[in-house]
Structure 1
Amino acid sequence: MPKKRLIPALVLFGVLIIGGSYWYLYDDRVDVKIEVVDEKNVPQQVSMFVVESGEMYPFRPSSTDTSGKIRLKLEPSKYRFDILTSSDWEKIDETKVVNKENSKLRFVLKKK
């Protein structure tokens, strides 16, 4: 009786291992770390959205951590990132690094 249960269990385990490995190796999405800071490098909480092919997705880092991550496909031209700030802030710098190893988006704001 145990052999009848062992073979399907091993087959299922093998399928899960192969499927998981395939997904991990060929996943074309990357984690993009998003930071919003002021001139003194102090994190700032702002509303943010990501636009992908005309669809807008809100993105808000958690209230305790102002940097956040979002998982996106590795096609930087397909995405537009923007932030919504109050009128007393202006964006003075924006750094985008989107690659498989180190994907980062950093906005620097300045008080008006």
Structure 2
Amino acid sequence: MTHLAKFYPSDFSETDVLALDNQLQTYIVDMCSNDEFLELKGIGVLARKMVETNKDVIYPLVYLLVKLVLTLPVATAIVEISFLAMKYIKNELRNQMGDQ
């Protein structure tokens, strides 16, 4: 997981990445011993449960990483839609130029 944090240098400094490694080790032990977290289905449910149990405050770097992972599909979709729109616009302009 710390490898993923390195893709977000504006959110995780080098010190944060080291602290995240320590937080993750503690977080994993804590979650495995907590019955509330054993049966969760999906990362969205995990994020919600972290907020409900104040684990987002205890493990802020882990929670930040979870939030970033949750927004990744949305950001990717927006970029793909933008490129699709640009492709459409470029093709329309080329077709209009060819007709003239």
Please, what TM-score do these two structures have when normalized by structure 1? 0.24
Higher relative contact order (CA 8 A, sep 6+): 1
| Structure ranking higher in helix proportion | 2
TM-score by structure 2 length? 0.26
**Which has more strand, going by share of residues?**
1
